[in-house]
Structure 1
Amino acid sequence: MQNKNAVLLFTVLLSLATLYTLSFNWVANNYEEEAANYGAFVADSLESTGEISEDEWESTQAQAAREFLRDSANAEIYPMLGHTYREVIEQELNLGLDLQGGMSVTLEVSIPDLIIALSDYSSNETFRQAIAQAKDAQRSTQGLTYVELFESAWKELNGASENPVELWRIFHNMESKDLFPAQSTEDEIFAILSNESTTAIDNTESIIRKRIDQLGVAQPNVQKVSGGRILVELPGIDDRERARKQLKSTANLEFWETFFNDEVIQRLDAANTAIATANNPELYGSSAPADSVLTDEQKIAKIPLFRYLQPELQRRSAVVGYAAIADTNRVNDLLRRPEARLALRNDLRLLWEAKPNQNFAALYAIRDDSRKGKAKLSGKSIVDARVSYDEIGDVVVSMTMDSEGASIWGRMTTECAADNQRAVAVVLDGLVFSAPSVQTAITSGRSQISFGSDQSIEQKMLEANDLAGLLKAGSLPAPARIVDEVSVGPQLGEENIQSGLSSFVIALLVILLYMIFYYKGAGLVSNLALIANLFFLIGALASLGAALTLPGIA
């Protein structure tokens, strides 16, 4: 009798625990339905005032619902127990990509960029040709790694060269002399490159996992596939643009000294003239027509760069000019032309700001003392990054450097402060986040990244959290680009759920009826045991944080 009571008590307690675990799904669904209703109310209001069209209603409703859930993530929504929405969704039974919708992304790690970085950005012509030839071969060759293709291209080109180069001389430099010893054979160098490429892919996979954790995605799937690629599946992701940004961002943080604009404006003018001369040589030289008789079309032809880039001539700073956001790609194409690069010289890099205001972007003059695109101080020296507030209460990301980074930062800021308070640019993935003038030397090893004035506090906070997470997770060892992306819409997920549930219910009813028909009373008892087992199994899945997929339902 005592054993029977103990079993009954255990069953009741287990049932209550299972109901409690499954209740998180019910609470979360109710609150998300409330958010959807709020989003519909906002979209209806905007549509009634003519601020959005009927075609924009659905995206506006979804955006408003996401903002409602994000802003109330810490609101208590579980009756009596006081659990917040964030805590509830962490405890609910998760659905897989095939049921919930989401996105599947394939990333490709750029091994060519890794090899170039290991060579300390060598400009050896044979080396660069081998890199380019291996890239071309990779597009049409299956089954070979990029390092193997590079090895084949190098041996072919270097063997045919009149002045062959020993490969170790390209990779043996101050930073990697221990990795690539002097007098190493070509086979040894290629073995090291193969090992480094494998390590880079492994490290990229690990960093991607850390970044996904910050997106709050339940049961993501990250796995390596062939060809140096990484498959990432994100069930239930709402803000897909944010996810793309998190996945493909190299998070390569750099600190650069800058030029004053009056120090380089003549170079820009020379670049403009060089481009115009190459495009329209008849407008220059001894037989060229005078400026006073030029047509409007010819006048425009003589300012191909300044047609899109407005030089900054009013204020002395690191900003050399401004361009409409729609014209930045045109300016980039012009500045990449050989005649423009020759006029600008290789100690000058021109980078756009990360946060343009009012549809115009500023172009900064970066001083590259290495002449190879290598910063004196990088994000590798960052040991901590967190969201905080500056003196006026604006959102910033505060960074702390290690001892070596603090020493370099101290020297850079000392030199800039003494040189007419020259600006230091904080650059992330090739975009200037801020370029403050250095008033005094900073020897504490601390710095900040600000986010401009064209965003709301909520937007700044979201971006600051993302950036701090990227910096703490670490920069990717090599750039990664999205080569394939598949979005699974929630409607497809709903269709899968309905199909899966229908097949499940039909199969279950057939089994239950057959058990009763064949076994009579014993069959009824077995049916009750089966239903109880199913009930407890789903509760166990929810408590373990597992994800329910369509094959799992089947």
Structure 2
Amino acid sequence: MKDLRWRAILIAGVMLVAIVYLLPSLNASLPAWWKETLPNDKIHLGLDLQGGMHLVLEVQADEAVRTTVERLVDEMKDTLRSERIPFRTIKRTKGGDIQVELADAGALDSLRSLVEKQFPILDWVAAATEEGATTVLCRISEKEAARIRDLAVKQALETIRNRIDQFGVSEPDIRPQGEDRILVQLPGVKDPQRAIDLIGKTALLEFKLVAEGVDPNAKSLPPGVRVHPMKRFDPNTGRTFETKIALKDRTLMTGEYITNASVRIDTQYNTPYVALEFDPQGARLFERITGEHVKERLAIVLDGVVYSAPVIQEKIGGGRASITGSFSMEEARDLAIVLRAGALPAPVTILEERTVGPSLGADSIHQGFLSMVVGSVLILLFMAVYYRVSGVIANVALVLNVVLIMAALAAFRATLTLPGIAGIILTIGMAVDANVLIFERIREELRLGKTPRAAVDAGFARATLTILDANITTLIAAVVLFQFGTGPVKGFAVTLSIGIVASLFTAIIVSRLIFDYLLVQRRVRSISI
């Protein structure tokens, strides 16, 4: 009797915890005190059930290395000038090396010493003198290049996560996949293209000087000048058209100093624009740039497109600037989001894209739920008819099994997918299979002439090892599927794993408790099996 009481307390405790975790999914209008003190996580539905987007992105990590090399080229130019080391050209080669052409071969040792002290991430590759010209090749070390690639992927992951959080998607799933890929799942997204544009926008903001007097349509351009597309807004017609503009290659400032970006309304034209705020270092840099280039045009370039190129009338302090253009309110908001979240350290490309509509998801829920109900009803009827009262005991355990599975999904914040529903249906069959093994062993013991209590003891003892062997091997397979499978396979593995543990609990502990209660407490003389 004492053993029965403790087992009953254990089962009651487990079921009470399960109900506590399951209630938020069944009743959305729980009282405030519940949400403050008790678990309120609901069962999360996968993309195939509630609709949404599935994206696999590839980070172009080599572009981050190329950008670093270009930055080093500019830094090396400034350093050589300040150290008074004469040079003719410094440029990045097609292979990604830095090529320095010295004006004086005698400066070779000075250059080597400077590279070793101030540019330790560069390896000295070669130096050659031909026809009076001394050329040096330097290259980013393999270790540093690998670090830059790895950092680019990690920064891209955090940047995309920040953008999506500000975009307002509930319960997004963003995680790395392999060395240079990112998996993004956005449940409930109603505008897939807007989400793709927001995620994929590099958002590299640059401030460059306009190359005055240079025709952007000319066949040849001066050194250090490049043509960019420029968006212009005509306030008279309210339309946007695209032209070309020549800019100097050198970037005076980037958007890395931005601390805030917000949408404002231009009262003159009643159009939105994006107001920028810089950190103290960025404010000082912007003030110095505008002070040194008064009466020159400063272009604001976003992802290679010029949005405005105003004339600097005076030194601008306070760390504020603005991006004007023909933005809609939605475009301005999205631009502010990507600028606040930061630029991607490297471009990303979409390798895989799947979109599931909400209506398809609702149909999947309906069909999956219908199949689960039909399968469960047929099993319940079979067990009750074939095993009579013992079948009813198995049915009680089966219902508790489903409750435990759904509660565990909510407790572990797992995602229920359509393959997950298939896993639940399979688990229901496996749970009944365990009871069938036990009941058949009990029948054999009764045919041998044993008493009902002895038959139950022997039936559970002999069938339990077989049930454990079968379920543990299946559990190992489910763990392997979860570890190495993709989204749908993982959903199946999650519910299968939870279901196996729950079915073992209900078949071995719950069913046994009911039999022991009837035989010990109620002193039943025969078993209906």
TM range (shorter): 0.5 to 0.7
In 2, the alpha carbon distance for the partners of 1:502 and 1:250 equals 45
Q: How does 1:105-504 map to 2 (within 5 A)?
A: 105-120=55-70, 128-130=93-95, 177-180=119-122, 189-226=141-178, 228-259=180-211, 263-264=213-214, 267-268=215-216, 271=218, 340=219, 342-343=220-221, 345-353=223-231, 360-363=240-243, 365-368=245-248, 373-388=249-264, 395-416=272-293, 418-419=294-295, 422-452=296-326, 455=328, 460=329, 462-490=330-358, 492-494=360-362, 496-504=364-372
In 2, the alpha carbon distance for the partners of 1:399 and 1:543 equals 43
In 1, the alpha carbon distance for the partners of 2:116 and 2:164 equals 35
The CA deviation string for residues 105-134 of structure 1, in whole angstroms up to 9 with x for no partner, is 232222342232122276999964436xxx
The CA deviation string for residues 142-197 of structure 1, in whole angstroms up to 9 with x for no partner, is xxxxxxxxxxxx8xxxxxxxxxxx9xx99x97998243366899898122212221
The CA deviation string for residues 377-409 of structure 1, in whole angstroms up to 9 with x for no partner, is 101111233445566686443322122211121
* Contact kept? 1:259, 1:367, Cα under 8 Å: yes
Residue 547 in structure 1 maps to residue 415 in structure 2: yes
Shift of 1:367: 3.4
In 2, the alpha carbon distance for the partners of 1:234 and 1:204 equals 17
Does the residue aligned with 2:209 lie in a helix, a strand or coil?
A: strand
Q: What is the TM-score with the length of structure 2 in the denominator?
A: 0.57
In 2, the alpha carbon distance for the partners of 1:355 and 1:520 equals 81
Q: What is the TM-score with the length of structure 1 in the denominator?
A: 0.55
Shift of 1:354: 7.8
The CA deviation string for residues 45-77 of structure 1, in whole angstroms up to 9 with x for no partner, is xxxxxxxxxxxxxxxxxxxxxxxxxxxxxxxxx
CA distance change for structure 1 residues 354 and 537 in 2, over 3 Å: closer, same or farther? farther
RMSD, matched Cα: 4.5
Count of aligned positions: 369
Equivalent residue number for residue 100 of structure 2 = none
Equivalent residue number for residue 507 of structure 1 = 375
CA distance change for structure 1 residues 432 and 91 in 2, over 3 Å: closer, same or farther? farther
Stretches of structure 2 lacking an aligned partner (at least 5 in a row):
1-5, 33-39, 75-88, 98-107, 127-136, 423-529
* Contact kept? 1:94, 1:218, Cα under 8 Å: no
* 1:445 partner letter: G
Bigger mean CA deviation after superposition, 175-184 or 232-241: 175-184
CA distance change for structure 1 residues 217 and 514 in 2, over 3 Å: closer, same or farther? farther
In 2, the alpha carbon distance for the partners of 1:361 and 1:403 equals 36
* 1:470 partner letter: V
Larger radius of gyration: 2
In 1, the alpha carbon distance for the partners of 2:208 and 2:347 equals 20
Shift of 1:245: 0.8
In 2, the alpha carbon distance for the partners of 1:347 and 1:407 equals 26
In 2, the alpha carbon distance for the partners of 1:495 and 1:210 equals 32
* Contact kept? 2:231, 2:307, Cα under 8 Å: yes
Does the residue aligned with 1:440 lie in a helix, a strand or coil?
A: coil
CA distance change for structure 1 residues 484 and 537 in 2, over 3 Å: closer, same or farther? closer
Structure ranking higher in strand proportion: 2
Higher RCO by CA contacts (8 Å cutoff, separation 6 or greater): 1
* Contact kept? 2:208, 2:252, Cα under 8 Å: yes
CA distance change for structure 1 residues 345 and 175 in 2, over 3 Å: closer, same or farther? farther
* Contact kept? 1:268, 1:344, Cα under 8 Å: no
* 2:69 partner letter: S
Stretches of structure 1 lacking an aligned partner (at least 5 in a row):
25-77, 82-89, 132-153, 155-165, 272-339
